[in-house]
A and B are shown apart, each in its own frame.
Chain A
Amino acid sequence: MGRQVLALIQKELLAILRDARSRMVLIGPPLIQLMVFGYAASFDLNHVPVAIYDQDASRASAELVHRFTGSPTVTVEAMLHSGRRIDRLIDSRRVKLVLVIDRRFSRNLLTGRPARVQLIVDGRNSNTALVTEGYANTILGDFSAAWASAHGGPAPAAVLDLRTRYNPSLASRWFIVPGIVALLTQVVTLLVVALSVAREREMGTFDQLLVTPLRQIDILLGKGIPGVLIGVLEATAIILAAVFWFHVPLRGGLAPLYAGLMLFVIAVTGVGLAISALSATQQQALLGAFLFMVPSIILSGFATPIANMPAAVQWLTYVNPMRYFLIIVRGVFLQGAGFGELAPQFWPMAAIGLVTLAAAGWLFRKRVV
C-alpha cells in the first residue's frame, strides 16, 4: 500500500483524463442522458387531445363541455355531430379519448336520475390511457359536485381529502432526475472500472504491472479507488444539475446521501472489477458491462415500480445495488429522509460491495498468477 498504490491511482486518473475516448465516456453520454431523461422521459401528460360528441346540446351539457375546454390537462380537438367519426379519430390516434354525452343528459340530471356519459379511450398506450381516463374522471367529478351544490342536492356523505406527499404537483421530473443520479453514476463507474484492466491487457501494460513488486491487493486498490473517485465526482455534478438546473428540491441532508453514494459506488466498482478481471479485451469488458447494466437498470425501479414485477423477479432485485441507492437518493431528495429511515438500504449495498470486491480479487488471482 502507500506510495505505490498512490502512483497507480495517479496514473489511472491521468490515463483516463488524457485519453479522448475515456473523456468522452465521462462527459458525452452523461450529458446526453441527463438532457434526454430530464426533458424527454416524462409520464406527465398535458394537453391530451380529446373529442366530444354532445348528443344533448343543452345548457347542462354545454357547461360540462366548457369544463373540458377550460382544463389545462386536455385539449378539445374536435366537437362531433355524429357518432360516425369516433372510430376514425381514435383509430388514427388523432385523439386519445372521446367523451360521449347522452341524449337525455340534462333531463336526467334535472330529474335526479343518473345522467349517462361515456368515455372511449385509446388503450394502445396503457399508461396514457389510465392517466387520461383519470383526468376525465376528475373533470366529471368536479362537474358533478358543482352541479349538486348549485342545485341544492345533498352533498355526498363522505368526501375524499386527497393529499400528495413529497411531490404535490406530481411532476415526473422530480422522480426521474434523482433517479438519473443513480443511473449515470452506475454507467460511468462501471465503464471506467470495467474497461481499465481490459485496456491494459489489450495494450500489454498489464503484464508490465504484474512483473512489478505490486501485490494483488495493491492493484485492486489502485484500480478501484479511481473508479470510486470518478463515480462520486460524476454523482456530485448530476446532483448539482438536479438542484440548480432542474430545481428538484433537496430536502434531506448531504451526509446520508453521500454515505449511500459511497456504498453504492463501491458496490458498482466491485462489479466492474469482477467484469474487468474476466475479460481479455475491451470489447468483452464492454459487453460484460452492458450485460450487467441493462437488467440492473430495468430491475431497479428506475422507471417502473418493483412492486409490479412478478415475485421471482422481485427477488432478483435484491442483489441489485441500484435498487437500494434509488430509494436513498429519492428519499433524501424528496422525502428528506435521514439515516434512521434509510438504514435498511445501507447494509445490503455494503454486503454486495464486500462480496463483489472479494470476488474481483479472487478472479484477478485466477486470471493472473
Chain B
Amino acid sequence: MPAAADRGPALRLEGVRRAFRAGGRVVTALDGIDAVAARGDVIGLIGPDGAGKTTLMRLIAGLLRLDAGRIEVLGIEVARDPLAVQARLGYMPQRFGLYEDLSVGENLDLYADLQDVPRASRPDRYAQLLTMTGLGPFRSRIAGQLSGGMKQKLGLACTLIRPPEVLLLDEPTVGVDPVSRRELWQIIGHLTRDNGTTVLFSTAYLDEAERCDTVLLIHEGRLLGHGSPGAFTAEMAGRSYFATAAIGRRLLQARLAAAPGVIDAVIQAGHVRVVAESTAPLDAATLVAGAPDLRLAPTAPRFEDAFVARLRPASAGRRAAAQAASPAPTSASPPAPAGGAVIEVTHLTRRFGAFTAVKDVNFAVAGGEIFGLLGANGAGKSTTFRMLCGLLPPSSGGLRVAGFDLRTAAAPARGRIGYMAQKFSLYADLSVRHNLRFFSSVYGLAGAAQRRRIEWAVAEFELASMLDATARDLPLGFKQRLALACALMHEPRILFLDEPTSGVDPLARREFWRRINGLAAAGVTVLVTTHFMEEAEYCDRLAIMAQGEILVEGTPDAIKRAAVRADRPDPTMEDAFIAVVEAATAAAAAGAAA
C-alpha cells in the first residue's frame, strides 16, 4: 500500500536520455525529455512510429536503464528501486502481453497470482473487470481466439487486476476497431474518475490527444511540446479554415497546399481544411489560381494543426523542393470521367474451412477513381484485396481487373497493376538502387528505358540521398516512398495500396496522398485499404467492411450524411463508421432473436 508520506507528482522526467546501438551505429531514441505529470491525469504520449514512445514507457516501468537523467514515479526514483515502482504501476505492452494459448480465466488467474491479489477478493474483482470489459461470456475462451479489441480489453483487465496507481498503456489502440477504441476510452475515464488512477497513454493517432489532460508530444526522440491539448490548440486559434470552391476537392487541396502562407491543407469533413502560417487573415480571392469563388470559413483548431505547425518549419525546405520537382497534381487535368469499370467485383466470396472471410461482396471502380476499403483488422478487407491482386483464388464470384478475368488471364492483368503491400515489402538486404533495378527488370524494363525510369523515380521520390543505403536501415517515410516508387516502375494503370500509411508520421502521410491524388488525376485507378478514418476522406468512394461484408458503400459525404442525428449534426467519419457497425450488429441481433 502506498506510504502515507509519499508525495510528489505521478511522474517526473528530468533530462531523460537513452541511446541504442544498432548495427554498429548509435541511435538516440530519447534525447533530453523533461516533463512533470500530475496524479489522476490522463497523459497522452503522442508521436509517430519511431518517435521513442515505447522506449520512454519501458524506462518508466524500470525495464530499461537510463543513459542520463532521472525518472520518478510517485516520488520514487525508478533507477534506485524498480521493484517498489513496479509494485504500484500497471503496464500493458504492445500486443497486450497476453498468453495466447491460455484462456481468459487462466490469464486473469496468472496475473492475479503474480500481483499477489488475495484469493478472497478475487471473485469480486474478476466480476468487476469482466463486466467492465464485457468479457464475461468468454471466460473459458483461449485468448488467441479473441478479436483484437477483446484482446486489448483482456490485456487491460490483466494489468488492472490489482488496481495500479499509475497505468502505462503502450499503443493500446493500434489495430483495434473504432468501437473498441471508444470503449477503451470509456474505461479510462472511469478509472481516473473513480480510482484516481494516473494513466500514461501512448498513441500515434493525433486525434486521441484531445481526450487527454496533458500531452507529451514527441518526435524523433525530442519533446516537441508539453501541455494540455487546449494549450496546443489555443496557440493555433484563428489560423484554421474550411475552404470550399467549385473545383474538385482534391485539386483544391493540392493547390491550397502549395499556396503561400498556408502550412497545411488536408481534406476533412467534406471540405479542405487549411492552416495558415500566422493569424494574419488569408486572402481568399488571390490565394489559389483558377478558383475565384474560393470561400474560407474559420473553424476551431484541432490538435493535428498544432502538430503540423510545429513540425513544418523544420521540413519546409524539403517540402518546397518536393513541390518543385513534382509536376503532377497542380498541372493535371481533373479526374477522368468514369468510363466503364476498371475493377469489377461480383458476388465475391472466400471461405477458409468453415469460416467465411469474405461474404458476397460487390463493387465496381471506375477509371481514375480512388476507391477505399475501410474496416478494422479482421474485417475481410485484406482478403478481398488479396483476391483482387490475384494472390488468393476466390471461393466463388467474379473478378475482373482491367478487363481481364483473374481466373483465366492472371498474367496479363498483373502487367497492368502496381501493388504496394502492407509493411512496405521491399528487399531489406538490398540497397535502394538494387530494389529499383530489380523491380524495373522484373517488369520487363531494360536498357535506356529502364535507366530513364529509375532516374525519374529517384527524382520524383527524392531518393538520391539514400541511393546506396540498405533498405532495412531507411526511415519509415523513406521506405514508404521507395515502395511506392517500386510499384510504379512500369507505369501501371491500376494501383493497389494495402494500408499504405500506417505508422507513418502526419507529414509523410500528406506527401503520400499528394502523390496519390496526382496519379489519380492522371487517370490511374487507385484501390486503397485503410483503418485511418480520416484518410477515407481522400477517396472518391468507399466501402465500409465488417465481418466479411460490405455494410455500406458510397461517397464519403453520403456515408456521413446517413449518420446525421439530432445530437450529432456534423458527424465525423469515425461517428459514421460506428453508426454503421452498430446498426449492423443490432440488425444481426434482431435477426437472431426473431
Contact = CB atoms under 8 A, between A and B. Distances in A.
Q: Is there a contact between chains A and B in the complex with CB atoms less than 8 Å apart?
A: yes
Interface of A: 3-4, 6-8, 10-11, 14-15, 18-19, 203-205, 207-215, 368-369
Interface stretch (B40-48, B202-210, B434-442, B531-539): B434-442
Given A4-B444, A8-B442, A213 B415 contact: yes
10 contacts: A4-B442, A15-B429, A18-B429, A18-B470, A204-B423, A207-B425, A211-B391, A211-B496, A213-B414, A368-B391
Contacts of A19: 429
Contacts of A18: 429-430, 470
Contacts of A211: 389-391, 414, 417, 419, 496
Given A11-B438, A15-B427, A15-B430, A369 B393 contact: yes
A99 B437 CA distance: 75
Contacts of B421: 204-205, 207-208
B438 A7 contact: yes
A4 B427 contact: no
Interface string B139-157: 0000000000000000000
B382 to A, nearest CB: 11
Contacts of B434: 11, 14
Contacts of B417: 211
A213 B444 contact: yes
Contacts of A11: 427, 430, 434, 438
Given A207-B419, A211-B391, A211-B414, A4 B441 contact: yes
B387 to A, nearest CB: 11
A210 B392 CA distance: 11
Contacts of B428: 203
Interface of B: 386, 389-393, 411-412, 414-415, 417, 419, 421-423, 425-430, 434, 437-439, 441-444, 446, 470, 486, 496
B473 to A, nearest CB: 12
Contacts of A203: 425, 427-428
B594 to A, nearest CB: 41
A158 B443 CA distance: 79
Nearest to B428: A203
A205 B414 CA distance: 16
Nearest to A15: B429
A7 B419 contact: no
A50 to B, nearest CB: 57
Contacts of B470: 18
B425 A205 contact: yes
Most buried by B among A11, A208, A215, A369: A208
Given A3-B444, A204-B421, A213-B444, A14 B429 contact: yes
B421, B427, B437, B439: residue with the most chain A Cβ atoms closer than 10 Å: B427
Kindly list the 7 A-B residue pairs having the minimum CB-CB distance in the complex, ordered from nearest: A7-B441, A204-B425, A211-B419, A18-B429, A19-B429, A213-B415, A205-B425
B32 to A, nearest CB: 33
Contacts of A8: 438, 442
A207 B423 contact: no
A8 B437 CA distance: 11
A196 to B, nearest CB: 12
A290 to B, nearest CB: 24
A212 B486 CA distance: 11
B441 A205 contact: no
Contacts of A210: 390-391
Contacts of B442: 4, 7-8, 209, 212-214
B583 to A, nearest CB: 34
